[in-house]
Every structure is written in structure tokens, then in C-alpha cells.
Chain A
């Protein structure tokens, strides 16, 4: 395959970026999208040019480090897939492909396609945990958890923190990311006790980071590599209102 690539290049957070044209020949259909990018980078090295910086690590769809807007879609044309799991068989010979970073005012572009998602870590720091120090745990089977509850908790906990939900949202909302963690912990008996405090703190942090509000377009669910349901946002809103209503102040 031969491709026309228009790729976002930006020196650093303070300088302006732009799309740069590249032609790439010899791409095969079973290559992954990132292997196509590797191939382009090898050609740039041969020409003595700086390579295109992009985030990636596990290349098996679980670490959440990769992520690009490909032809305007987070992680490219397939639904519920990470960029690393996208293969060139999803593109046509001669196609023009636009590659840009995940954009949000809460994700600073570091260089080219690499962005800083430290805001996600700070949302978790605000309350995305169960306060159980090492050594405090009771025998694991002492609190039975229904099969369906464990499975539902898993569905929410599966989030890989890639940021596709934010990048695809017209409001740059982190509602799906935050909801997934809030719901995962709220439906387990171990995490239930801290729900009100947790949801309040995480929402405050989400706002402080500059993420927008959710207006229920449900675009996030389409791009989420783990297919996390927007129903979690509804549950999250419910828990948030409950915490406001039940708080003493």
C-alpha cells in the first residue's frame, strides 16, 4: 500500500504545531498502525530528520499509553480499539490519513503526538481508591460478592486510562473515565463506605483540571477500547447527587 500521511508536528507545549505531509510506500495490510509509524520513522532517520514522537508501550491494547486521533477519530476508524490494535487492513491503498494528538485543555501536547495525561492521575489521587493499607485486609472469602456484582465491577474497572473518551468528546469531558472508577469502587462492599467522599473529591478535581461537562452525546462509549458503558455516567451522576443531598453541610 501507498499512503499519504498528514501528521501533526509540534516542537513543544509552547510552540505552535502544524500538519506535515509524508508519503509512505510499501505498507502491508497486516502491519499495525504503530508499525507503519515505526516504518516512517526509520525513513526519517535515514534522511537525518527528527522522528515523530508518539506514545506507546505494551502494543497489546491494555497499558493505555498509545492514542492518536486518526482521521478525526480517537484510536482510528474501528470502534472500541486502541491505536496499537489497529491494523493497516482498515485502510485503503492511496488513502490520505490525518494523524493528530489527543486534544483537550487538560492534556498538554509535549511533542508531536505525545500528550501529558497527568490530570487523570490527579483525579485518581483525589479519591479513586479504597483506603485499605497493607496488612488490614480480612480473609478474602469473609465478604461474599455476588457473581453479577463482581462482573459489573470488572466492567467498570477495565478502563485503561487512555483518554480517548476525553479526546472524542466535544466538551473534553472526563466523565466516563471518572465514572468508571467511581462505580467500580461503589458497587463493591469494600469500597462502598467511602463513596460519598470519593465522588465529591473526584468531581472537584475533574473540574479543577479543566475537563468540560458531560452533555450525554455518548460519543465516549463508541471510542472506548474497553467498551465502557455510558450507563456508568448515569450511576456516577446519581451517586454525586446522592452525596450532595446526604452531606451534612
Chain B
């Protein structure tokens, strides 16, 4: 373990990344083909990293659990990707973007990382356009932008409501190109089940072929985890059904520290839950808040349909509470404000669990055709799911678990506390602090994969060149494989009464209530006890049918087993941090009018948790956050 040294390069904030690149070690082109890198995950971070390293000449093994690399959940991101191009000439700059991001994260991220993110955003747009990403254009042929929550400039590039899909296809096609050149071997329908360490360094993984059920060994000189976030822990979330925390959790149990574990963003504009069988909460892009106005009825017990409620009896609560940012207030604030109104009894819809997102004024001002051009796929999707035409009635929306700011602790080079193990994109904790700004997640995933890892991984590999190439016959692989097989057998042999989904839904409800949009000491303490009990029940009362070949129930069981441990750490992390910051809102720490109270004196640090073994208490390490450029202020959007 390299302790908690973030390895921030010397120099002024603006020069750090250049300074690092100038001094980074290199591997001779002839030697690169001798070295192999495993990349787990084929979303924006994984695919871009795998393709970029392959272009340099390294041999890459790329893994995903889906049936094709193109299906990773980056595909579902709708709204856009930020870049400080300042094409709109509206006052944007790298510094402004850095400041917005660090403030948006409630001053709980590293200055150097965030500055680099903003700096590299410029090249990303160039790269994507070169790959053929059809971003929105103005009539003169130049790139168009729109605005997103938490900022006062227009810096978001978009491809209708399918920006994530288009960016991902660019990365996927780059990956497929390298596959055709023989530089990448992709393993689809494969799930990583363990990390293999040799002399403390990451040297391989154990996978399961999800079709045949075979357990396989893969060795490499470095391992990259780009496996996304774990928001699916709440069961109901905006994530894909297969999204999971298993790869990072299993790396955590091998020694990689986890940070910001309880910082989970609830997206303010998702569709509300409508029934017990529901499996997923569909996201409506935040970009809708550019033209939609959010409101609830002013009167208690309002029974009228939305269209019949006169203007003066509507409470546009975001415009009321946060006049400077209004409907474009950051996600954590918007979500909490919605929850506050819903909990106070002003929720709308059949389950009284939603608020209105109303386009009537925008349609009147801009015309239906313009709104259609901007958001047609979102309005169509809304109608498919709810049967409601949102051009005529307001949408019903509600907050839903969405993005995990937390993840594996990484240093400036995106290396975890395990040598040779890198974590990219949503799987790491690094750039978003306690709250992520809209359109920064696609950005971070791409920047990590295209522009950072291709410098920092070779910097690591340069020193590994002389090391012996590891064979999968090494005893460390025997041990890891035996553990994986024992765990699978334990799950297959459980002959209890309840399905995997039962445990997942129970855990999700528990976490949503106690470690969701708001948290309290008592609630978290209770949740920790409840999760322990649920975990015991899981191992005595789980029921899995089917065989050891293709078996979705077995796949889910492994992921839920990990969630039952990760959930407890989430609660512990939230309990330990006695302040409110970003997505982490502790009920004990708020102002009289319900705004978060941060405690910079005692909590301006990154919490990094170390696994000590089954049924042992996690150990907390602290990486102090020092701010040289920005001064810590109360994050006000009023």
C-alpha cells in the first residue's frame, strides 16, 4: 500500500499536469507489445483507455459482462458533456469550469485533479468530433452548447438526448478498430470475480464466463477497473440492471481503499415509482430543466389537475428558494428540495411521490417544434412509459439514486492504494467531491481514459518492464480461483426460501430510508444493525435455482452479496462524517431554513476506508484536502 500520498506534482495549479507529463516515464515502442494490460469495463472510461493504450502498442484484454462492449451504461447518459471551450463567449474558461466543479462538489475534492479535468475537457471535444460524434451544430456549422445545473455559462455539448450513446459509440468503435488490428482482445459476457495480487502488485484477475460458467485466469502487467458506479445498490435507481460494485468491492477486499462511499447523487428528474414490481427508475435528462419549470401546488390537499391550477396557486419552489439558479440549481439541492415538498405532503401524482416539470411556458415562447427538436426522444420515452403526452400535461418527476461520487481511492495518477491497480471513471472517487455537476460524468470518464491513463499507466509500466512476466500457473492464481469457486458453490448450495431480488429490494429500501437523501445518527446506527442481520439471513435463507452454467440468478447473487457488505460501509462512512456536504445531508447539521452546514475545520479531508477482514471493523485513513487557490465558501445558489 502506498499510504495516502496523492502524489500531486509540483508547480502552480495551471502547470501541474504539464509538469507531470514532461517527467512521466516512457516505454520504448518495441517494448510496449511485450506488456499486457487488463481493462475491466467497456464504458466510456474503459473503452477509451483500452483503445488509447492499444494505439500506443500495448496488448489489451478488455472485459465486460454485457453481450457487447457497446452496451455499457455510459450509453444511457442523455444530456451532455462539459468543456470549457467558451464557444459562446459567455465568460467561460478552464479556471471557471474548475471553480464551478470544485464548488459544485462542496469543496470535498482535490484542486489539482479538478483543474486537470477542466483542462483536458478541451481536447475531448476535438477527439470526439474526429471520431464522428454528431454533436448538435448551429446553422453556420459550428458546435452548439446548452446550459446545465449549477453553472451560469453554456458549456455543455450534446447530441440530442443521446450524448452518452454517441460518445460511447465513438469509444467503442475505436476499441473495435484496435480489435481488428489484433491489439485488443475483448471478452464479452465475462465478469471479474477477483483480483490477483503478486508481491502486493495487481497482476491479474479471475473471471467467470457467463455463458459456460467456466472460471478463467488472466495475467497482466497492470489492471484497470473502469466498472462504473454502484447506485444500483438501492435496487430502484436510474442505473442498468447489471450495474454493480463487485469488481471494486473485491479489489477493496484485497487492500484497495474506498473513499466517499456514502456520497451518492440522487438525480432530481427521474420518473417516480409507480408500483411494487418496478425494477428501474427512468431518468429524464437534466437538460429538460433548461426549459421546464418545477412546481407543486401551493395548497395543502390540492385535488385539481395540473392544468386547472392557476398560476398564483403554484409553488415554483426552486425559483422561490434559489432565485439566482432557479430550475437549474445543482442536483443535490434540487433533489432535496423536491423531497422536502413531497415529505411535507405537497407531492403530486397517484402515489403523491412526485413534482411537476412543466413545459407550457417554453412551448408558448419557443413553439412546439423547437421543444420537439431539443427533446423529442425524451418526450417520446416519457409517453411510452407513462402513457402521458408531456406537450400537453406537465411531467411527473421525482429524485432517484443515480451516480456514485465515491469509489476506489486513487492518487493523482488514478492508481489505487494497490500498486498497478488503476481505477477510472465512476469507479474511482476523485473529481466530483460530494456532489457531481451535470454533464461532468461523461467528461470525467472520457478524460480519465483518453488523456490521463495513457500517461500514468505507461509511467507505471516503465518500472515493471524488467519484472518477470507473470504466468497464470502462479500459486496466487490457484488461491484466488479456489476462493472464487468456494464462494460460488456456497451460493449455489443455498436452499433457503427467498430469491436474490427479495434481499436486494429489502437492502435498497433500507438504504433509501436511512442512507439516502438525508441521514441521521440514529438512522444510520439502526441501518448498520439491520444490514448485518439481512446479510446473515442472506447466507441462510437464499434460494437460487438453475445450474452453474448460464444463470442470471447466480450472477445477481454474487453482486447482492457484495452490496450487503458495501451497504454497511456506506452507512459507516455517513455516520462518521458529522457534517452536511453535497449529497451527504445529515439532519443534525442544517440551518434553520434547511440548508446544509459543512464543517471545514473538522472534515476537510477525504475518508479512505481499509478492509480488515470479514466481521472486522473498517479502519479510517484521512487524506487532508488543502486548498491553495480557492477559498472555502458557503455553497450558495440563492
Give A residues with C-beta under 8 Å from B: 12, 28, 30-32, 34-36, 38-39, 42, 44-46, 48-51, 53, 55-65, 78, 81, 85, 87, 89, 110-111, 114, 116-118, 120-121, 124-126, 128-141, 143-147, 149-151, 153-154, 157-158, 160-161, 184-185, 188, 190-191
Cross-interface CB contact of B141 among A48, A116, A147, A157, cutoff 8 Å: A147
B315 within 8 A of A: no
Instruction: Point out the residues of chain B lying under 8 angstroms from A114, CB to CB.
Output: 67, 550
CB–CB B125/A140 < 8 A: yes
What are 19 contact pairs spanning A and B, CB under 8 A? A28-B277, A35-B277, A38-B501, A45-B544, A50-B546, A50-B551, A62-B75, A63-B66, A63-B73, A78-B384, A125-B180, A129-B176, A133-B55, A134-B450, A140-B128, A141-B142, A151-B137, A157-B159, A190-B129
Instruction: Point out the residues of chain A lying under 8 angstroms from B241, CB to CB.
Output: 56-59
Q: How far is the CA of A112 from the CA of B211 in the complex (A)?
A: 12
Instruction: Point out the residues of chain A lying under 8 angstroms from B547, CB to CB.
Output: 50
B369 within 8 A of A: no
Instruction: Point out the residues of chain B lying under 8 angstroms from A34, CB to CB.
Output: 279
Q: How far is the CA of A185 from the CA of B177 in the complex (A)?
A: 14
Q: Looking at the assembled complex, report how far the CB atom of B244 sits from the nearest CB atom of chain A, in whole angstroms.
A: 11
Instruction: Point out the residues of chain B lying under 8 angstroms from A191, CB to CB.
Output: 132
Q: How far is the CA of A12 from the CA of B546 in the complex (A)?
A: 13
Cross-interface CB contact of B165 among A36, A62, A87, A138, cutoff 8 Å: A62
Q: How far is the CA of A121 from the CA of B550 in the complex (A)?
A: 21
Instruction: Point out the residues of chain A lying under 8 angstroms from B108, CB to CB.
Output: none
Q: List 7 additional A-B contacts (Cβ < 8 Å) besides A60-B76, A140-B143, A154-B134.
A: A31-B277, A55-B67, A59-B241, A60-B282, A129-B131, A134-B454, A158-B162
Instruction: Point out the residues of chain A lying under 8 angstroms from B123, CB to CB.
Output: 137
CB–CB B132/A130 < 8 A: yes
Contact with A along B257-285 (1 / 0, CB 8 A): 00000000000000000110111101100
Q: How far is the CA of A154 from the CA of B159 in the complex (A)?
A: 8
Instruction: Point out the residues of chain B lying under 8 angstroms from A135, CB to CB.
Output: 127
Interface 9-residue window, one of B166-174, B216-224, B305-313: B166-174
A49, A130, A140, A146 interface centre (most CB from chain B within 10 Å): A140
CB–CB B279/A38 < 8 A: yes
B97 within 8 A of A: no
Cross-interface CB contact of B545 among A50, A89, A136, A185, cutoff 8 Å: A50
Query: Which residue of chain A has its CB nearest to the CB of B123?
Result: A137
Query: Which residue of chain A has its CB nearest to the CB of B278?
Result: A35
Q: How far is the CA of A34 from the CA of B166 in the complex (A)?
A: 26
CB–CB A57/B73 < 8 A: yes
Q: How far is the CA of A55 from the CA of B210 in the complex (A)?
A: 12
B523 within 8 A of A: no
Instruction: Point out the residues of chain A lying under 8 angstroms from B136, CB to CB.
Output: 150
CB–CB A126/B180 < 8 A: yes
Query: Which residue of chain B has its CB nearest to the CB of A185?
Result: B132
CB–CB B137/A131 < 8 A: no
CB–CB A188/B132 < 8 A: yes
Give B residues with C-beta under 8 Å from A: 48, 51-52, 55, 66-71, 73, 75-76, 85, 87, 123, 125-132, 134-143, 159-160, 162, 165-166, 169, 172-174, 176-177, 179-180, 186, 188, 211, 240-242, 274-275, 277-280, 282-283, 381, 384-385, 387, 450-451, 454, 499, 501, 543-547, 549-553
Cross-interface CB contact of A157 among B166, B179, B381, B552, cutoff 8 Å: B166
Q: How far is the CA of A160 from the CA of B186 in the complex (A)?
A: 19
Q: How far is the CA of A42 from the CA of B451 in the complex (A)?
A: 45
Query: Which residue of chain B has its CB nearest to the CB of A136?
Result: B130
Asked if A121 meets B68 with Cβ closer than 8 Å, knowing A38-B279, A51-B553, the reply is: yes
Instruction: Point out the residues of chain A lying under 8 angstroms from B553, CB to CB.
Output: 45, 51
Asked if A59 meets B550 with Cβ closer than 8 Å, knowing A81-B384, A121-B69, A136-B130, the reply is: no
Instruction: Point out the residues of chain B lying under 8 angstroms from A42, CB to CB.
Output: 499, 501
Q: How far is the CA of A56 from the CA of B159 in the complex (A)?
A: 24
CB–CB B165/A124 < 8 A: no
Instruction: Point out the residues of chain B lying under 8 angstroms from A61, CB to CB.
Output: 381, 384
Q: Looking at the assembled complex, report how far the CB atom of B610 sits from the nearest CB atom of chain A, in whole angstroms.
A: 33
CB–CB A30/B274 < 8 A: yes
Asked if A12 meets B549 with Cβ closer than 8 Å, knowing A28-B277, A58-B76, A131-B177, the reply is: yes
CB–CB A129/B240 < 8 A: no
Instruction: Point out the residues of chain B lying under 8 angstroms from A145, CB to CB.
Output: 137, 141
Q: How far is the CA of A185 from the CA of B131 in the complex (A)?
A: 9
Asked if A154 meets B160 with Cβ closer than 8 Å, knowing A145-B137, A190-B130, the reply is: yes
CB–CB B499/A120 < 8 A: no
Instruction: Point out the residues of chain B lying under 8 angstroms from A139, CB to CB.
Output: 126
Instruction: Point out the residues of chain B lying under 8 angstroms from A128, CB to CB.
Output: 173, 176
CB–CB A63/B76 < 8 A: yes
Instruction: Point out the residues of chain B lying under 8 angstroms from A87, CB to CB.
Output: 384-385, 387
Q: How far is the CA of A49 from the CA of B70 in the complex (A)?
A: 32
Instruction: Point out the residues of chain B lying under 8 angstroms from A158, CB to CB.
Output: 162, 165
CB–CB B130/A132 < 8 A: yes
Query: Which residue of chain B has its CB nearest to the CB of A48?
Result: B545
Q: Looking at the assembled complex, report how far the CB atom of B177 sits from the nearest CB atom of chain A, in whole angstroms.
A: 4
Q: Looking at the assembled complex, report how far the CB atom of B501 sits from the nearest CB atom of chain A, in whole angstroms.
A: 7
Q: Looking at the assembled complex, report how far the CB atom of A9 sits from the nearest CB atom of chain B, in whole angstroms.
A: 12
Q: How far is the CA of A138 from the CA of B122 in the complex (A)?
A: 11
Cross-interface CB contact of A129 among B69, B142, B174, B275, cutoff 8 Å: B174
CB–CB B177/A125 < 8 A: yes
Instruction: Point out the residues of chain A lying under 8 angstroms from B48, CB to CB.
Output: 134
Instruction: Point out the residues of chain A lying under 8 angstroms from B66, CB to CB.
Output: 57, 63, 65
Q: How far is the CA of A45 from the CA of B165 in the complex (A)?
A: 35
Q: How far is the CA of A172 from the CA of B395 in the complex (A)?
A: 40
Instruction: Point out the residues of chain B lying under 8 angstroms from A56, CB to CB.
Output: 241
Query: Which residue of chain A has its CB nearest to the CB of B49?
Result: A134
Q: How far is the CA of A110 from the CA of B138 in the complex (A)?
A: 46
Q: Looking at the assembled complex, report how far the CB atom of B86 sits from the nearest CB atom of chain A, in whole angstroms.
A: 11
Asked if A51 meets B546 with Cβ closer than 8 Å, knowing A45-B499, A140-B125, A184-B132, the reply is: yes
Asked if A62 meets B162 with Cβ closer than 8 Å, knowing A35-B278, A50-B545, A134-B52, the reply is: yes
A51, A116, A150 interface centre (most CB from chain B within 10 Å): A150
Asked if A141 meets B499 with Cβ closer than 8 Å, knowing A117-B67, A136-B130, the reply is: no
Instruction: Point out the residues of chain B lying under 8 angstroms from A131, CB to CB.
Output: 177
CB–CB A190/B137 < 8 A: no
CB–CB A125/B130 < 8 A: no
Q: Looking at the assembled complex, report how far the CB atom of B316 sits from the nearest CB atom of chain A, in whole angstroms.
A: 28
Instruction: Point out the residues of chain A lying under 8 angstroms from B55, CB to CB.
Output: 133-134
Q: Looking at the assembled complex, report how far the CB atom of A150 sits from the nearest CB atom of chain B, in whole angstroms.
A: 4
Asked if A45 meets B545 with Cβ closer than 8 Å, knowing A55-B67, A62-B75, A117-B67, the reply is: yes
CB–CB A154/B275 < 8 A: no
CB–CB A150/B135 < 8 A: yes
Q: Looking at the assembled complex, report how far the CB atom of B606 sits from the nearest CB atom of chain A, in whole angstroms.
A: 29
CB–CB A130/B67 < 8 A: no
B162, B545, B553 interface centre (most CB from chain A within 10 Å): B545
Q: Looking at the assembled complex, report how far the CB atom of B143 sits from the nearest CB atom of chain A, in whole angstroms.
A: 6
Asked if A57 meets B240 with Cβ closer than 8 Å, knowing A39-B277, A63-B76, the reply is: yes
Query: Which residue of chain A has its CB nearest to the CB of B277?
Result: A35
Instruction: Point out the residues of chain A lying under 8 angstroms from B549, CB to CB.
Output: 12, 111
Asked if A157 meets B134 with Cβ closer than 8 Å, knowing A63-B240, A125-B180, the reply is: yes
Q: How far is the CA of A117 from the CA of B140 in the complex (A)?
A: 40
